[in-house]
Homo-oligomer: A and B are copies of this chain.
Amino acid sequence: MFSLHPQLEQDCFQLGDLPLCRLLLMNDRQYPWLILVPRKTDTRELLELDENDQKQLMQESNLIGQLLLEVFFAEKLNVAALGNMVPQLHLHHIARFHHDPAWPAPVWGKHPALCYSEKESDEVKAKILDFLAKKAPAFTAVQLS
């Protein structure tokens, strides 16, 4: 049974599920920042996924990259599996801009997260869900308490 790491649960909004991954929105208004978490237990590294899951992860990563380009007009994508603090395998996808607060450095550890207001996060989530409704028929929004 898949269970999201408590740190990711605390830092992110859970948006829904693609065939392999739970999709999260990082609660940081400084960057459009989406995270894919394969719903596999005890997986820490990309290379621990089998060939089919790796292929599926690439497809879902392409979709999320395309979303950041088309919906948020990302100038550059940052895609990374780090996991030094949260051992559950998760793949960051961050839309970067020449005017963002960390540019050109990576975002991690650069500036503390600035949470979205409820209105802002509702707007951002709506844009994301609208894109996925059109481009990802296999996506299902999660109903979380």
* A positions within 8 Å CB-CB of B: 44-47, 54-55, 58, 61-62, 65-66, 76-85, 96, 103-106, 108-109
Contact = CB atoms under 8 A, between A and B. Distances in A.
Nearest to A64: B47
Q: Which of A44, A61, A62, A85 has the most CB of B within 10 A?
A: A62
The count of identical subunits is 2
Given A54-B58, A84-B96, A76 B106 contact: no
A71 B57 CA distance: 27
Contact of A66 (B47, B58, B84): B47
A98 to B, nearest CB: 9
Closest 3 A-B residue pairs measured CB to CB?
A: A80-B80, A84-B104, A47-B65
